[in-house]
Amino acid sequence: MRAVLLLAAAMLMGAASPKITPNDIVAKSPAGAWKTIAPDDLLVMDLAGGGRVVIQLAPRFAPVHVANIRALARGSYWNGATIYRLQDNYVAQWGLNDSDKGFPTGVVAKPPAEYTRPLNGLTIKALGSPDPYAPGAGFFDGWPVAFNRKSGWADLVHCYGTVGVGRDLSPDTGSGGELYAVIGHAPRQLDRNIAIVGRVVEGIDRLSSLPRGTEALGFYKDKAQYVPIASIRLASDIPAAERPSFEVMDTGSVTFANYLRVRANRNDDFYVRPAGGVDLCNVQVPVRRKV
Amino acid sequence: MRAVLLLAAAMLMGAASPKITPNDIVAKSPAGAWKTIAPDDLLVMDLAGGGRVVIQLAPRFAPVHVANIRALARGSYWNGATIYRLQDNYVAQWGLNDSDKGFPTGVVAKPPAEYTRPLNGLTIKALGSPDPYAPGAGFFDGWPVAFNRKSGWADLVHCYGTVGVGRDLSPDTGSGGELYAVIGHAPRQLDRNIAIVGRVVEGIDRLSSLPRGTEALGFYKDKAQYVPIASIRLASDIPAAERPSFEVMDTGSVTFANYLRVRANRNDDFYVRPAGGVDLCNVQVPVRRKV
């Protein structure tokens, strides 16, 4: 039939619509509603076959693991690293897998279990919808977080694009040498069971569109299938003129409050029934390239 | 480091573990805990480049749209169809896009808005965790559903693998000629705004691993990028000896109740802190090939 049936076609209409979309709010946001990500908090992974994946690190949630990752990047630990696991609707995982390579100086081989942090001191913008995994949910400093006021903990959560540290069975917490990114529906059951160190802010599609591994847990069967990584560097180690720069919407801003409200109550021309709620991982805190 | 850091390594240990995993429950389930999917409810999509995607239809939720899909398949409407849209963390969409082709006999060009159905008459297994998008959530006849007792509606929800009907702006509801499958985090904001007709029960990775489109909304820029579809048939139109067969766990069974409990309280050797809750789309009702 001559009819381009566009799911969410209204998103294309933007300014023509009298109603507002999340994208409208991002487009019209004031500069003050954004915070620049420090270059020391950006991990830049370039694939040998082309394509870049940029990760924002979260030192306030997993400081020892993040310090390890910085030391691993600076010490060129990941020379020869590959993406060796792609499990559909779950994770892409990379690193050196079963290599014998030792860690660079400064890497803590057995970090503490940085799975939660004290809630005390964090000013959280409440989600305003119930969360199945924790008594409280919201946003702190640009990150989706869950928390428990009674027990006093807060934690980063596993959403699409979240980056965590591969580990073996407890009490091992992983060094940071093997990392994964979520490429499917939020596996929130992993929250508070593994160290989350950041999120992909650009290029997640370079991971999510890779062929799935056919071995148990999505490991590639043959090493020939491994996807080679050219380099993993901190943005702060890339010459300033070449380094990418990103900014995150300030989740304490009025702009974000509006964004969150519209996310929970989509009312543009495509939607006939706003949900009146939204789940933590479906909010997607806006992150964009800084020009 | 010589240490194969396996995320969820415990899943590999299965029987060796004294604690139980969701996979254990599936493996040990009695035959009576499963229901065979009728061959009229299975849509088999074969890609021209190899690979099969099998979809279970949901006639009890969107009867007119499902009848359309059966008529479109039987009338060979999708000859020449392609996958023309891949939006990361959202959907893969296929059909004839802007073709002039008319519908086969029996297709209702403007179906009713089958976005919800009466709750009355459905026996729902409760999720037992709060849902951000509806007052109630649970499972009916193998499907994840949301509902509102006060208003009396129930609906299928958008989870990973859910298949829906592409449409233009309301009041258009889509014919069924253009379909999409969710390949990312559950876009639950679409619930009750679009007709859901089924879910992918095999081969979702054939869609999720495709290159992402670079045009607005993930449309492929060039037609050369379109992924050709060899055929879309009902299993009932495939000779019995060749047709695939699947079964779904009976969500009214004791086995499913156990599965759901363990999904919300992961306690195998990998997990140090069970969540005590689970979100509707993270339960993943077991579906398997019937041999």
Note the pLDDT tens digit of each residue in B96-110. Answer: 987 889 999 999 999
Quick one: tokens of B89? 């963390």
What pLDDT score does B18 carry? 55
What pLDDT score does A13 carry? 38
SS3 of residue B180 by DSSP: strand
pLDDT, average across residues B206-219: 98
Note the pLDDT tens digit of each residue in A87-120. Answer: 999 999 999 997 889 999 999 999 999 999 999 9
- Chains A, B: CB pairs < 8 Å: 237
pLDDT, average across residues B215-240: 97
Mutate to test the interface with B, among A1, A153, A269 (most CBs of B within 10 A): A1
- A62 neighbors A163 (Cβ within 8 angstroms): no
Q: Of the candidates B10, B132, B161, which has its C-beta nearest A279's C-beta?
A: B132
- B162 neighbors B196 (Cβ within 8 angstroms): yes
- Over 50: is that where the pLDDT of A5 sits? no
pLDDT, average across residues A140-144: 98
Cite the DSSP H helix spans in A37-120. Answer: 63-74
Least CA distance to B204: which residue of chain A? A88
pLDDT mean across residues, chain A: 93
pLDDT, average across residues B267-273: 90
B111 or B10, which is more confident? B111
Contact A4 B208 (CB under 8 A): no
pLDDT mean across residues, chain B: 93
- A156 neighbors A142 (Cβ within 8 angstroms): no
- Tell me which chain A residues have a C-beta less than 8 angstroms from the C-beta of B271: 189, 193
Note the pLDDT tens digit of each residue in A57-92. Answer: 999 999 999 999 999 999 999 999 999 999 999 999
What pLDDT score does A291 carry? 83
Distance (Å, rounded) from C-alpha A237 to C-alpha B287? 48
**What is the band of B63 on the pLDDT scale with cuts at 50, 70, 90?**
very high
- B181 neighbors B163 (Cβ within 8 angstroms): yes
Quick one: tokens of A283? 């909010």
Element (H, E) at A167: none
Distance from CA of B239 to the nearest CA of A (A): 29
**Which amino acid, A156?**
L
Contact A96 B1 (CB under 8 A): yes
Distance (Å, rounded) from C-alpha B34 to C-alpha B25? 12
Note the pLDDT tens digit of each residue in A250-280. Answer: 999 999 999 999 999 998 889 999 999 999 9
Q: Say if the ipTM goes beyond 0.90.
A: yes
Percent of chain B with pLDDT over 90: 90
**What is the band of A6 on the pLDDT scale with cuts at 50, 70, 90?**
very low
Q: Based on the number of CB atoms within 10 Å of its own CB, is B265 exposed (0-12), middle (13-18) or buried (19 or more)?
A: middle
Q: Of the candidates B88, B161, B277, which has its C-beta nearest A132's C-beta?
A: B277
Q: How far is CA B176 from CA A285, B196, B271, in A?
A: 33, 10, 43
Quick one: tokens of B21? 């995993």
- Tell me which chain A residues have a C-beta less than 8 angstroms from the C-beta of B22: none
Distance (Å, rounded) from C-alpha A123 to C-alpha A256? 14
Distance from CA of A34 to the nearest CA of B (A): 23
Distance from CA of A31 to the nearest CA of B (A): 25
| Closest alpha carbon to A137 in B129, B191, B128, B149 | B129
**What is the band of B14 on the pLDDT scale with cuts at 50, 70, 90?**
very low
Distance (Å, rounded) from C-alpha B207 to C-alpha A79? 32
Contact B270 A170 (CB under 8 A): yes
Contact A186 B185 (CB under 8 A): yes
